[in-house]
Amino acid sequence: MCGRTSLFAPRAELESRFGAAVPEAYEPRYNIAPTDPVEVVTSDRPDTIQRFDWGFRPSWADPDDEGFINARAETAGDKPAFSDAWESRPCLVLSSGFYEWKETARGPKQPYRVYREDDPVFAMAGLWQRWEGDDRQRDTVTVLTTEPNDLVEPLHHRMAVVLPRDEESTWLTASPDERAELCRPYPNDDLDAYPISTAVNDPTNDSPGVIEPDESEQTGLGEFAG
């Protein structure tokens, strides 16, 4: 799954990378939790980076429902909650790296940062939904997940659908069947991961220190990746 993410690329780099205007409210964030706003690019407004609530709310959701932060890519098109969005509302969820927690022999789980080498931001495949209720309107989003690749498998049995850079535009414009083909374990070798401190466990810890390596643990997961 993907339950915590970050986005701290400079505004100018975001604009250049995605060819899209960045909202005034944008600020670097190192510890984005469910229900927080996340930056997205949608198929109907590809020239603008928008901010949606992380937690997909179907039309029938209650006002206090936190929504779905993840959806299984293999079944999203068949689920009533996501089927309409799967057909017509794909989006890119922008990230500088997401976090996963690895089981340890004893003690608390060890958090890891998963990021793309030599690229300050990448895109995860998402679906979005406009929810209306109690005189309020919210644009909400979920991150699609798939089987893990060799890098993420030691950390979790699912991973976010991370799109190769040359498939980002395709995700926004392709048919549902074509997009289904893109929902696979990340195929390239430019992702890496390293352990960080348990400070990330508290979403109120939102500073560059969150992504500092935990030197008490191994420095990366390269030994696991084939």
Distance spanning both ends of the chain, measured CA to CA: 21
Q: Say whether 223 is catalytic.
A: no
- Residues in Cβ contact with 93 at an 8 Å cutoff, skipping those fewer than 6 apart: 5, 38, 39, 40, 123, 124, 125, 126, 141, 143
Q: Of the residues 2, 39, 91, 183, which is catalytic?
A: 2
Q: What gap in Å lies between CA 165 and CA 92, rounded to an integer?
A: 11
> In angstroms, what CA-CA distances link 190 with 5, 13, 116, 214?
18, 19, 6, 21
> In angstroms, what CA-CA distances link 196 with 137, 212, 213, 216?
37, 6, 5, 9
Greatest extent of the chain over all pairs of C-alpha atoms, in Å? 53
Q: Say whether 183 is catalytic.
A: no
Asked if residue 126 lies in contact with residue 93, where contact means CB atoms within 8 angstroms, the answer is yes
Strand segments (E) across the chain: 5-7, 29-32, 37-42, 50-54, 70-72, 90-95, 97-102, 110-116, 122-133, 136-146, 159-160, 162-163, 191-195
Q: Of the residues 91, 100, 168, 183, which is catalytic?
A: 100
* CA 48 and chain centroid, separation: 18
Chain position carrying tokens 């348990």: 198
User: Which residues are known to be catalytic?
Assistant: 2, 100
